[in-house]
Amino acid sequence: MKPSPVHFLQSLLHIASLSHEARDLFAGKATSQKVKKGDYLLREGQHCQYIWFIESGACRAFHYHHEKEINTGFYFENTFLTNLNSLRNNVPADYNIQTTAAGSLWKWHKDDLFLLYEQSPEIAAFGRQWLEHLFIEQEKHTHWLKRNNPEERYLSILSTQPDLLQRVSLTQLSSYLGISRETLSRIRRRMS
């Protein structure tokens, strides 16, 4: 019997409730993927073919701007991730998705997902709710960047995502905050 993505099945409950049949159908199309630190799930310019779920490990999304890495997202256990624009519109990805820790992922090919949506109205409804969840998170992040200065952003991470400070490098964190590493170091010294 094929292993099942247990954490995925449990995490579905915070997005949408699915019947046991729909969860089994959805899980049945999942493929497990072991990853090492530094593996690319997606590179800029490739066409995204998958949605991933992180059972263990971590990933980041980033792009290059004037040969400098700009980190735009960090993803940890019990999180879905993909490049939605590339996946849905069959266009080249405009950012990379790379693992930052070894781990275990589950992935669904987009063709399988679209087939599942046709087979199950319940799974199609889940897909819409998941998209809404992604858009809301993206909107919150955009407003967070616009409304807060670098020090406020750092304080926000300290209070809401303290594990981020343990799991990403200072260079990656500073680019995520939209500041230089030196500025981040000054902010951290002031807070000590």
Q: Does pLDDT of 94 surpass 50?
A: yes
Residues 67, 69, 72, 77: what is their CA dihedral angle, to the nearest 10 degrees? 140
Percent of the chain having pLDDT more than 70?
92
Average pLDDT rounded to a whole number, residues 150-165: 90
Domain assignment present for residue 61? The answer is yes
Domain assignment present for residue 162? The answer is no
**What CATH number does residue 27 fall under?**
2.60.120.10
Structural domain count of the chain: 1
Q: What is the pLDDT of residues 10-47, one digit of tens each?
A: 666 666 678 888 888 988 999 999 999 999 999 999 99
Confidence of residue 159 (pLDDT cuts 50, 70, 90): very high
Q: How far apart are CA 23 and CA 5, in angstroms?
A: 10
Which pLDDT belongs to residue 1? 37
Which pLDDT belongs to residue 86? 96
Domain assignment present for residue 80? The answer is yes
Domain assignment present for residue 126? The answer is no
Domain assignment present for residue 170? The answer is no
Domain assignment present for residue 133? The answer is no
Average pLDDT rounded to a whole number, residues 143-165: 89
Domain assignment present for residue 172? The answer is no
Q: How far apart are CA 109 and CA 105, in angstroms?
A: 13
DSSP states along 124-162? HHHHHHHHHHHHHHHHHHHHHHHHS-HHHHHHHHHHH-H
Where in the sequence is the domain holding 57, given as residue range(s)?
A: 6-120
pTM: 0.88
Q: Is 93 exposed, middle or buried (0-12, 13-18, 19+ CB in 10 A)?
A: buried
Which pLDDT belongs to residue 11? 64
